[in-house]
Amino acid sequence: MPAGGARLPLSALLALASAGFITILTEALPAGLLTQIGGDLGVSQSLVGQMVTIYATGSLVAAIPLVALTRTWRRRPLLITAISGFAVVNTVTALSHDYALTMAARFLAGVFAGLLWALSAGYATRMVAPHQHGRAIAIAMLGAPVALSIGIPAGTLLGAAAGWRLTFGLLSVAAILLVGWSLWALPDFPGQHGERRQRLSSVFRLPGIRPVLFVMFAIVLAHNILYTYIVPFLQPSGLDADADRVLLVFGVASLVVIPVIGALVDRRLRLLVLATTALFAAASLLLAAFTDQPAAIYVGIVAWGLAFGGAATLFQTASAKAAGAQADAAQSMVVTAWNAAMAGGGLAGGLLLDSAGAANLPVVVLAILVPALGVAWFARQGFPRASR
């Protein structure tokens, strides 16, 4: 559909969302199948957990260099290459009996994920009119919360019942089918050439880019500090035995807010960023004050999920608007900062858990979110006022 069309190209946007779904499922699934994978490969559960770490590392180190290298390439062949890569690496993972080979495949999966995430938001905005950019990104990003709230629990159940290798094999089949869907549904776009292509350092200095990256990094860092170590945090309230239910509540809250974000993001980006950051801070304050009260914990979890569910849409929309024609380059920075915050949150949370205890995790989260809220308030170029 032409960019000026009034209707959203739903089939194409849902293809992008499906790519995101496969990406997140590939990344996080080993966390739910630690015992099965560890027993099969003959390694400890902690080593299986590094399958998630090395995936994030692949995305972290590859996103910016790959986008810089491929900025002149046509967009659809590049996106198809990234999706096809998932079919290959998940097949290797499903068939491998060697831990080193499995880890190499996981690293490459992260590389393909970094490229795919860097392309998705820019791809979505090029298919629609400017006033529809936010809604298009919201649909294209829908795969991530769906994977976290539904895909991971379902994949874990399937892996436990039928074997983890079958689960990764099905992910390969899904990627192959998605290649066909993408070839049919996605339009092709040229890369950037000549004067339209700026150096990445110049893109980083564009007005609004750095505040967007800072606020996003802070929010993802705060989220991952608490999310990674949610089970020890729940122990004083006695909810640690129901951690799966607590995470389901968080996932559902994250999912239900997506339509609201999608409907308002083009006109109320600044308000949404401020409101969700403040809501996350309020949730952290509630969790810090009532660590032993199950009812308060659930209220805090719901507020946290509502605040974080639209984060990917909000910050990818903000970076795309701030970067304009350089959206793909800006998205590579978003991917890098997001994965750095994920890795940093896991590391910082572990250090805090050992030194200060799980009860203090929400306090640290709140301390991170307050300056993020201040930066968002003053960053009027990164988070502009409502458009009319």
In a domain, 225, yes or no: yes
SS (H, E, C) the chain: CCCCCCCCCHHHHHHHHHHHHHHHHHHHHHHHCHHHHHHHHCCCHHHHHHHHHHHHHHHHHHHHHHHHHCCCCCHHHHHHHHHHHHHHHHHHHHHCCCHHHHHHHHHHHHHHHHHHHHHHHHHHHHCCCHHHHHHHHHHHCCHHHHHHHHHHHHHHHHHHHHCHHHHHHHHHHHHHHHHHHHHHHCCCCCCCCHHHCCCHHHHHCCCCHHHHHHHHHHHHHHHHHHHHCHHHHHHHHCCHHHHHHHHHHHHHHHHHCHHHHHHHCCCCHHHHHHHHHHHHHHHHHHHHHCCCCHHHHHHHHHHHHHHHCCHHHHHHHHHHHHHHHHHHHHHHHHHHHHHHHHHHHHHHHHHHHHHCCHHHHHHHHHHHHHHHHHHHHHCCCCCCCCCC
More confident residue, 77 or 333: 77
In a domain, 4, yes or no: no
111 and 146 in a single domain? The answer is: yes
In a domain, 387, yes or no: no
- The CATH code of the domain that includes 79 is 1.20.1250.20
47 and 156 in a single domain? The answer is: yes
Structurally, the chain folds into a number of domains equal to 2
- Dump pLDDT digits (tens) for 154-210: 887 888 888 999 999 999 999 999 999 999 999 998 877 654 555 667 777 788 889
For residue 259, pLDDT beyond 80: yes
In a domain, 101, yes or no: yes
In a domain, 183, yes or no: yes
Binned at pLDDT 50, 70 and 90, residue 3 comes out as very low
Domain that holds residue 133: 10-187
179 and 212 in a single domain? The answer is: no
Report percent pLDDT > 90 for the chain: 39
148 and 262 in a single domain? The answer is: no
Report pTM. Answer: 0.79
In a domain, 320, yes or no: yes
What is the average per-residue pLDDT within 37-41? 89
- Mean pLDDT across the chain: 86
In a domain, 36, yes or no: yes
